Structures are given as C-alpha cells and as structure tokens.
Amino acid sequence: MANDATKTLATDKALRIVDAMRSSVSRRGVAGSTFDHVAREAGVSRGLLHYYFGSKERLLVEVAKRDSEVRLEAMSGELARAANAEDLGMLWVRSLYATVRHEPAFVSLLLELYTLAQRMPEIADELSAMTQAMTDAFAQRLQTLVDDGRITIGAAPEVVADVVIGFGHGLALRFMSNPEADMEPVVEAAKRAVGALVRNGPKA
Amino acid sequence: MANDATKTLATDKALRIVDAMRSSVSRRGVAGSTFDHVAREAGVSRGLLHYYFGSKERLLVEVAKRDSEVRLEAMSGELARAANAEDLGMLWVRSLYATVRHEPAFVSLLLELYTLAQRMPEIADELSAMTQAMTDAFAQRLQTLVDDGRITIGAAPEVVADVVIGFGHGLALRFMSNPEADMEPVVEAAKRAVGALVRNGPKA
DNA sequence: AAACCCCGGTTGGCCAGCCAGCCAGCTATC
DNA sequence: GATAGCTGGCTGGCTGGCCAACCGGGGTTT
C-alpha cells in the first residue's frame, strides 16, 4: 500500500465500511454501532474494520469526513437553484425543514458527530472545516447574485452567509424538538428577518 | 416510600446523584458516565443509583428534567433584564456567546441530551417541554414589553419568540464549531435581522 | 508451463477489560 | 425486631482490539 490515506480511500470495501458505519451511526448512534453490526452490514468481516482503520475512533473520523462531503454537496445543490432573495430564504429553510421531517436520521447523525466532537478534536476539526466550507460556498453564491444584480446584501457575503446558515440550523433544531408544532408562521417571520440582510436587486 | 417520584425528588442523596450525573455527562458524555464514577462524585455507593433510579435510562431522564429547569431559569434571568429591543437581541445573543465560550460543558450537555433524545422518547418529551416553556417565557416577556410601549413586534409573540430563540441557538452552534472566528460582525448582522421583527416602541 | 513463492487482503476465534444490574446483607431508627 | 435506607462484591454479557491462519493471483524459478 502507498500510505494509510490511499489505502483507506481507494478500496471499494473501505468505502462500504465507511458508508455502513455512517448509516449505522445515524440509526443506532455511536454506542450502538458495534464493529459486529457494521461489519455485517458492510458485508465484510469484523477484522477488516480494524485492518483499514485501526480503531473505532479513526473510523468515526472517516465518517465525519464523508458526511461533510455529503452535506456540502447537498447545500450546494440547493444554492445553485436560488436566483433571488426569496429563493434563498425559501430554499434554505424549506430544505432544512424537509430534512428534519423526512430524513431525521440525517439530523441525528450530525448531532451525534457534534457530540463526539466535544471529546475528539479530530472530529471537531472536520466539522469546523465543513462549517467553513459551507460559509464559503454560500458567500460565493451570494456574491454571484449580487454581481448579477439579482440581490443586494446588508453586510459582507461571509457575514450574511454565516447568519443565514446559522439561523437555518437553529430553526431546524427547533423543528426537531417541536415536531407537531405549526412552523408555517415561524418560517414566514424568519424569512422576513433575513430579508433585512438580503433583498431583491434591480434585476430580480 | 410513597412512590417513585416522591422518593426520587425528596431525598438529599437523590438530588446529589442527579447533579453528579448531570455534571459528569457534561464533562465525560453519557458513555463515559459510569455508575462507578458518578457514585463516587455524589459521595454514595453505586447501589444507591440503582436503588433510586432503577436504571441508567431513568437517571438520565431525571438529568434532562433537572437540566431543563436550570436552562429555563437561566433564560428567565436574562429576559428579566431586557427592557427594549436592543437589550433583547444583545442579551440573548451575548449570553449564548458567553456560554459557548466560557461554559462549553453547558453546551456539551445539551448536545448530549439532544443526541439521547433520538433514541429515548422520554428525553425527547422533556426537551420538547423545555423548548415550549422557553418560548412561552420569552413570548410573555415580549408581550409585557409591548404592553409597556417599549417595543413593537412584527408577528405574534410566540412566533417572534420561536424565531429569536431559534436564531440564537443556531448562532451558538456556529460559535461552537468556529471557535477562533471573529463573530463580532456576525452578531451585529444578526441583530439587524432580528430588528425586522422587534423594534423599539414609543417609550423605549 | 508447471511448480513455487510471496504478500496484501481478508477472515473469525479469542481475550481482557468494562459495565449495568443484581442481591445478600448491613445499619440505624422507631 | 421490623422496616426503610444503603452498601459493595459479584456476574454475565458485550465490545474493541489482537492475531494466527487462510486465500488468491501475479511474478519468479526451474
């Protein structure tokens, strides 16, 4: 093998293991994701998890990496579709709302990772990098829309991005812990608040 | 003993156990909070945890209950000091910011509980109740300030409360995963956004 | 081309440690 | 002496990690 990274990333089975672990953690939590279960779901032997990753910790770091990619990609997809101020608010909050409602495991996984990050600096770094990447992607999209005259923003793009993403996640948390509440008016009010920072431009 | 609840809540030792568990979970996480550790820190024997709570799960439920009280009280304290629109934004976001920076364990604990809630409906209920109570307290304060002519709000008090609390938690999450970033401008922008929903009234 | 070997990839049995829960019994108080 | 409160040794089950052995295919020797 060339080195650990190559070995880990190249192999088909290693990928299957990471995916199985990711899925297991989102359903069963970290504690419930034993090598036994994960190996069975990945269709490999227990020993192989150890062979590739050495320890549960390192496997979890890979999971965090992988998950960050997935999340970033998901957000980028939403962003690309936003063409004016309304779209931005709508798409972002709506997609988070839909995620919380229809893919709670996706939310669970992130919670699990944040919790882990409290005791594992490597995972904290991974999440921090993801946060930064999300901000950058969002800010870049904002800048593009500003340049096209489709929106105007009330602060630096990175700042606006930070605020909007943060707001979104906070509301998502809220949706999660109040599953049966009617969030329609809340979403509406939140959009109005964000409207103080992002308005339609001349060409919107 | 009269019944489980009475037994649990009345005893001095039971309270010490819940507190020790709460503190341990916030530092070591749920997995790291073994009966052995917690008992030692509470100054009682391991057996007593079982005697009072029966299982780790039930003890964790008590922790969630206790923690909800503490959090609600903390927020109420902040709220009481807010007398106009600026105060509201300032106090809320600043206090969350300070908490994240100076009492990360307090944040860790909530993450841990949210994570638990994914697999323990009883804890989910507890957190849901806390969320609701926070909204109510916040909304009530808003209403009072409106009645006093100190602020005007752009939506029903409960809705505004939901939004502001949610925004705050989202930003807190963000502070947490970007510890070294300069959040000054972000806080500033967030305050302006909230300003779209909460403005100073005639008597502010 | 047949026999052989080499080695990374893979397997699964094994082990030592840990932990929640159980329970037999102790203590103090009335 | 009865009963509630409390203790801590014990255990069975589980888990992460270790490792000895196996497999298969590509290269090398004969």
Residue B195 is nearest to which of A165, A177, A196, comparing CB atoms?
A196
Across the interface, whether the CB atoms of A163 and B114 are under 8 A apart is answered no
Minimal C-alpha gap between A11 and chain B (Å): 31
Minimal C-alpha gap between B195 and chain A (Å): 7
φ, ψ of residue B93 to 5 degrees: the values are: -65, -45
Confidence of residue A4 (pLDDT cuts 50, 70, 90): very low
Kindly compute the dihedral angle of the four CA atoms of residues A167, A171, A172, A178, in this order, to the nearest 10 degrees. Answer: 170
Please report, rounded to a whole number, the percentage of residues in chain B having pLDDT higher than 70: 95
Residues in B touching A189 (Cβ below 8 Å): 154-155, 159-160, 162-163, 197
pLDDT average, residue stretch A103-117: 95
| Strand C bases within 7 angstroms of protein beta carbons | 8-13, 18-24
CATH top class, domain A63-200:
mainly alpha
- Strand D and A47 CB separated by under 7 Å: yes
Give B68 CA → D4 C1' in Å.
31
Q: Are B85 and A78 a contacting pair, CB within 8 Å?
A: no
If 0-12 CB within 10 Å is exposed, 13-18 middle and 19+ buried, where does residue B112 land?
Answer: buried
| Strand D bases within 7 angstroms of protein beta carbons | 4-9, 14-20
Give A47 CA → D22 C1' in Å.
14
DSSP state at residue A202: T
Topology of domain A1-54, CATH? Arc Repressor Mutant, subunit A (1.10.10)
pLDDT in tens, A59-80: 999 999 999 999 999 999 989 9
Q: Identify the CATH homologous superfamily for domain B67-200.
A: Tetracycline Repressor, domain 2 (1.10.357.10)
pLDDT average, residue stretch A104-109: 95
pLDDT in tens, B152-178: 999 999 999 999 999 999 999 998 988
Please report, rounded to a whole number, the percentage of residues in chain B having pLDDT higher than 90: 75
pLDDT over 90 (residue B87): no
Domains of chain B, by residue range, sit at 1-54, 67-200
pLDDT over 80 (residue A3): no
- Strand D and B16 CB separated by under 7 Å: no
Residues in B touching A160 (Cβ below 8 Å): 189
pLDDT average, residue stretch B138-163: 95
pLDDT over 90 (residue B181): no
Of all residues in chain B, the one with the smallest CA distance to A114 is: B111
Across the interface, whether the CB atoms of A155 and B124 are under 8 A apart is answered no
Across the interface, whether the CB atoms of A171 and B163 are under 8 A apart is answered yes
Contacts of B163 (CB under 8 A, 6+ apart): A171, A186, A189, A190, A193, B155, B194, B197
pTM score of the predicted model: 0.91
pLDDT over 50 (residue A88): yes
pLDDT over 90 (residue A86): no
pLDDT over 80 (residue B196): yes
Residue A197 is nearest to which of B124, B169, B189, comparing CB atoms?
B189
Contacts 24+ apart (CB under 8 A), B90-93: B90/B191, B92/B164, B92/B165, B92/B168, B93/B168, B93/B171, B93/B187, B93/B190, B93/B191
Which residue, among A131, A144, A172, A154, has the nearest Cα to A79 in the 3D structure?
A144
pLDDT over 80 (residue B10): no
Give B33 CA → D7 C1' in Å.
20
Which pLDDT value is given to residue A116? 96
Q: Are A120 and A62 a contacting pair, CB within 8 Å?
A: no
Picking from A108-122, A131-145, B27-41, B78-92, which range would have the lowest pLDDT averaged per residue? Answer: B78-92
pLDDT in tens, B33-72: 999 999 999 999 999 999 999 999 999 999 999 999 999 9
Mean pLDDT of chain A: 91
pLDDT over 80 (residue B204): no
Across the interface, whether the CB atoms of B167 and A171 are under 8 A apart is answered yes
Which residue, among A109, A88, A87, has the nearest Cα to A100 in the 3D structure?
A109
pLDDT in tens, A154-184: 999 999 999 999 999 999 999 898 888 888 8
Mean pLDDT of chain B: 91
pLDDT over 70 (residue B78): yes
Picking from A18-22, A24-28, B5-9, B123-127, which range would have the lowest pLDDT averaged per residue? Answer: B5-9
- Strand C and B57 CB separated by under 7 Å: yes
Which pLDDT value is given to residue A94? 83
Picking from A86-95, B112-121, B174-183, which range would have the lowest pLDDT averaged per residue? Answer: A86-95
